[in-house]
């Protein structure tokens, strides 16, 4: 049974940093494509960053140069390092996982992922 548990959210001031973690279990973590999504109040869930089994990454334009996705296969953990945070980054952040074909790059659309965590809230104040 796939289980994804996010942590690391909380309040932070604009310009600050935060690192989110997603502890995974119940599936072969190293072979799955992993991603971070976020959803603000009244908005649709949007892709933030993803990483495939080979470590290739994809980022939303809004976070390029500020956020870094990484994973530790030995620890079955996904990370999102968020720097230079802005109030518009305020959202619930979700971890997602799915098994992609080897040649398909890591995507950032909700429908590509069948497995989701419960989320962790990040609130950026100005």
Q: For 27-43, how does the pLDDT look when each residue is reduced to its tens digit (9 = 90+)?
A: 999 999 999 999 999 99
20 by Cβ neighbours in 10 Å (0-12 / 13-18 / 19+) ranks as buried
The answer to whether residue 104 scores a pLDDT higher than 90 is no
For residue 3, the cross-strand partners are: 25
Percent of the chain scoring above 90 in pLDDT = 94
Q: Which residue has the tokens 């960053």?
A: 49
The residue-averaged pLDDT of 8-36 equals 97
Cα distance from N-terminal residue to C-terminal residue, the chain: 40
* pLDDT given for residue 101 in this prediction: 85
């Amino acid at each position: 049974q796939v289980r994804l548990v996010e942590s690391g959210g909380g309040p932070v001031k604009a310009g600050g940093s935060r690192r989110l973690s997603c502890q995974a279990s119940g599936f072969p973590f190293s072979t799955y494509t992993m991603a971070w999504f976020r959803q603000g109040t009244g908005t649709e869930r949007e892709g933030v960053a993803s990483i495939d089994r080979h470590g290739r990454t994809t980022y939303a334009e809004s976070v390029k140069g500020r956020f870094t996705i990484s994973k530790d296969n030995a620890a079955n953990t996904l990370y999102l390092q968020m720097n230079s945070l802005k109030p518009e980054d305020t959202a619930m952040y979700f971890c997602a996982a799915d098994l992609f074909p080897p040649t398909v790059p890591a995507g950032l659309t909700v429908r590509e992922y069948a497995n989701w965590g419960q989320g962790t809230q990040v609130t950026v104040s100005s």
